[in-house]
Chain A
Amino acid sequence: MIDVVGFLVSWLTLLGIYSILALTLNFESGVSGVTNFGKVLFYGVGAYTAAALTVYLVLILNGFDVGRTPPYSVEGIVALGQLAGQNPALNLALFALSLVLAFLAAGLLGYLLSYPILRVGPAFVGFTLLSSGELMRIFLQHFEPVGASKGLMSIPGPFAWVPEPRVRELAFLGVVLALLALTYVVMDRLVNSPLGRTLRAVREDEVAALCLGKHVPRLKATVLFIGSGFTGVAGALLAYYLTAVNPGMFVPAVTFNVWAMIILGGMGNLRGSLVGAVLLTLFDRLLTFLTPQLGITVISPDYVRWFSVGLLIVALLLLRPQGLLPEEPVRTPALEELEVALRGGGSG
């Protein structure tokens, strides 16, 4: 008996998290033209912030000496497992706190990193962000306090105290979808406003925008702050969902998976990002399901999945670079005024 509900819940949760990534990447790269090849950096920062904060505080607040039983040690992991369900208020409080801190940590990092790349072209922007991501991964692999290459495990989730697993999963899914909705509303408001219009102008011709008085450096910094902040939140959600983080989870292929989503969905169109996320996660699940069925046991299915992401990007750019949904004009009252004028009579 296949667990349909279970499959749906897990797929939708991951979809929700990935959708947040797609929306923010579209906001940064699709709307504003900041080629973010380092998306995974902010994802990882958010995840690790949430994970580290939670596991350390749970142990400390329950009287453990983290010097002697650090959260990444076997004893620490066992202790975390036992403590997970004991204090609902603590779990929820830490969860909320982690989300806020993940937003701030990732957002601040995005803001700081925008500084060296303010004046240079998209290649350097993309490359610097990509390298930052890789350096973070190398750093985390060696950084003892977060478990080095093994990472952190047994992260107590916000609903760990709920006895029924299905209810737990559904509650978490609810939170993810709520945060997704929040992200969507924020992005949609920002894009369909004078700010969104100005950001698109910066994307089209940043020099002209500068000459028309737009403070391009400040705009880019703002974009990276907001985009990275929400990405950090997505990372935190991932950490709680998987109850574990390790550096190997945050590889460049993750960034390009999200790029494939926004290219497929249509750059500059927020609903397109959602469509792209749905299609790509579905495709990913299908592939995971099919490859063993086809008897391809020689090659690890992971490799096939990531290979197809790259292939998809190249194919899309060659065949249909505009994606599925086109970019629409900025939705502001100006359009209504225009309609009135066009209806009211011809030229003056």
Chain B
Amino acid sequence: MLPGYPYSIVNFLHYFFFYLLFSLPLTLSYRNTKVINFAHSNFITYGMYTAVFLHGLLGNTSLPAAAAAAFLVGGSMALLNNIAVFRPLERRGASPSLVMIASMGLWIMYNYLLYMLADVAHFFSRKNFVSYSKIAYSDVPELSIAGFTLSQSFVASMLAALGLVVALYLFLEKTRLGRAMRAVSDNPVLAEVSGIPRDTIVNLTWLIAGGVAAVGGAVWTCFSGTITPQSGDAMILQVFTVSFIGGLVSLLRTGLGALAISFIENVGIAALNTYLGVPTSFRPFLTFATLLTILIASPPLGAAGGLPYRFRRRG
């Protein structure tokens, strides 16, 4: 029987849904904007905290409401980043590296801003927001299948992830705007000539990317035992590695990456645990090893730089 069965399988699927929600927007954002946004994890964390503040300050127990609010928050953050920082830098001819460093600055800012917000919220409500416990929503069911229960967050993340995949597919393939978006990512110059305003596409991309990632964060609040302002950052390694597997441009391969990483992190670590006694908290090391392997064996040379150097024994 598979190691850790059935929990590792359930977790594997569970994480797969979350990684789809977190990483597909990242790939989408790079594809269309060519910006490597290290502040991406902030969308996730702020999505979590939108739900947390709604729950802790206003007593909200509706997940769809939290998710909708999260979408607005995440989307606005992304738009703000673009309008205030990325676009001016690009207009000035800044190199992609510079824009990337700027996104790092934003990451730090958003991180500590959230800590400050948590402090303020604590001041007004006497509740501790720096470490918040799992939220139980009133309008998401649990499912019982074959003798065991699929938790609330499993159902919610599954619905959200599948909904995202379907929506993205329909949007990109069937709508005019979606096809314009694909045109921009494949060939920005040509897209410009054909009358599609790149600016609009870029803004729309950021809105979707930030919004969806934040929704993922909102759903996460009924999964994770404790929520802290570091919760989104705790997953950067996984979220980015998943997108790297997709070369930062392929949505399909990002999806496969989500499958691979959640498999490695759940079934893989369970196997290592059972047969070699490796503690399960070593999960991120496994993902890191995967990242290193990808970088050495098949470096994502297309996206964002690469050296035509081959490691051989000759010469």
Contacts and interface: CB of A to CB of B under 8 A. Distances in A.
A216 B115 contact: no
A313 B307 contact: no
A134 B281 CA distance: 14
Nearest to B109: A310
Contacts of A37: 104
Contacts of A121: 303-306
A123 B309 CA distance: 18
B105 A142 contact: no
A122 B116 contact: no
Interface size class, chain A: 35 or more
Contacts of B85: 314, 318
Interface string B23-50: 0000000000000101000000000000
Contact of A256 (B108, B115, B281, B299): B108
B136 interface: no
A37 B97 CA distance: 12
Given A121-B305, A131-B236, A256-B108, A303 B284 contact: no
B309 A256 contact: no
Interface string B285-309: 1001001100110011101111111
Given A299-B116, A300-B119, A318-B85, A119 B309 contact: yes
Given A116-B295, A120-B300, A142 B281 contact: yes
A118 B307 CA distance: 8
A275 B258 CA distance: 45
Given A299-B120, A309-B108, A119 B291 contact: no
B308 A122 contact: no
A205 to B, nearest CB: 11
A259 interface: yes
A252 to B, nearest CB: 8
Contacts of A321: 94, 98
A118 B305 CA distance: 11
A206 B309 CA distance: 11
B112 A306 contact: yes
Interface in A118-168: 118-124, 126-128, 130-132, 134-135, 138-139, 142
Interface string B82-95: 00010011000010
B149 to A, nearest CB: 31
A207 interface: yes
Interface size class, chain B: 35 or more
Given A307-B109, A313-B105, A317-B94, A131 B295 contact: no
B308 A207 contact: yes
Contacts of A263: 101
Interface in B209-243: 236-237, 240
B196 interface: no
A128 B38 CA distance: 12
A33 B100 CA distance: 13
Contacts of A142: 281
B113 interface: yes
Q: Which of A138, A256, A314 has the most CB of B within 10 A?
A: A314
Contacts of B303: 121, 123
A318 B89 CA distance: 7
B71 interface: no
Contacts of B22: none
Contacts of B16: none
Interface string B272-288: 00000000010011001
25 contacts: A119-B306, A120-B299, A120-B306, A121-B305, A122-B305, A123-B36, A123-B96, A123-B100, A123-B305, A127-B240, A131-B237, A132-B288, A135-B284, A217-B307, A256-B105, A256-B108, A300-B115, A303-B115, A304-B116, A307-B116, A312-B105, A313-B102, A313-B104, A313-B105, A321-B98
10 nearest A-B residue pairs (beta carbon): A121-B305, A310-B108, A313-B105, A310-B109, A307-B112, A121-B304, A314-B105, A116-B295, A123-B36, A119-B307
Given A135-B285, A253-B108, A310-B110, 14 more contacts: A119-B306, A123-B36, A131-B237, A134-B236, A138-B284, A206-B307, A207-B308, A299-B116, A307-B112, A309-B108, A313-B101, A313-B105, A321-B94, A321-B98
Interface of A: 33, 35, 37, 115-124, 126-128, 130-132, 134-135, 138-139, 142, 206-207, 210, 216-217, 252-253, 256, 259-260, 263, 298-300, 303-304, 306-307, 309-314, 317-318, 321
